[in-house]
Amino acid sequence: AQSVAQPEDQVNVAEGNPLTVKCTYSVSGNPYLFWYVQYPNRGLQFLLKYITGDNLVKGSYGFEAEFNKSQTSFHLKKPSALVSDSALYFCAVRADTGRRALTFGSGTRLQVQP
């Protein structure tokens, strides 16, 4: 079985400050890890993924995430938050073999205050 935990329902940060959205996972085998963002009444937009290679992954809109195998984490980060980053963020995982469907976390709402 595989699972994702996003321990924070909401993260509040001031514009211009760094942000972190936490994600830990559990999977049998090597993980494929993803971050998606969802704006109101919209589908999921891909931000970044870790498949293999460098543990630090850079993605869209200045976001990055670090894969930490020992801590089974894949936290999303951005050095300087924008008000327009306010949205719902989902972390997802699947194993490198077997079932291809992604398992999602419950989501974290990011609120960036001006």
Partner 1 sequence: GAGVSQSPSNKVTEKGKDVELRCDPISGHTALYWYRQSLGQGLEFLIYFQGNSAPDKSGLPSDRFSAERTGGSVSTLTIQRTQQEDSAVYLCASSFMDRGQVGYTFGSGTRLTVV
Task: Among 36, 63, 67, 74, indicate the residue that binds partner 1 (CB under 8 A).
Answer: 36
Q: Are strands 31-38 and 24-26 parallel, antiparallel or unpaired?
A: unpaired
Q: Closest CB to partner 1 among 32 and 64?
A: 32
Helix (H, G, I), strand (E, B) or coil at 62: helix
114 binds partner 1 (CB under 8 A): no
- Round to whole Å and give the CA distance between 87 and 108: 8
Amino acid 103 reads: T
103 binds partner 1 (CB under 8 A): yes
First to last CA, the chain: 41
59 binds partner 1 (CB under 8 A): no
Amino acid 89 reads: Y
Task: Among 1, 52, 54, 114, indicate the residue that binds partner 1 (CB under 8 A).
Answer: 52
40 binds partner 1 (CB under 8 A): no
Residues of the shown chain interacting with partner 1 in the complex, contacts defined by CB under 8 A: 32, 34, 36, 41-46, 49, 51-52, 90, 92, 99-107
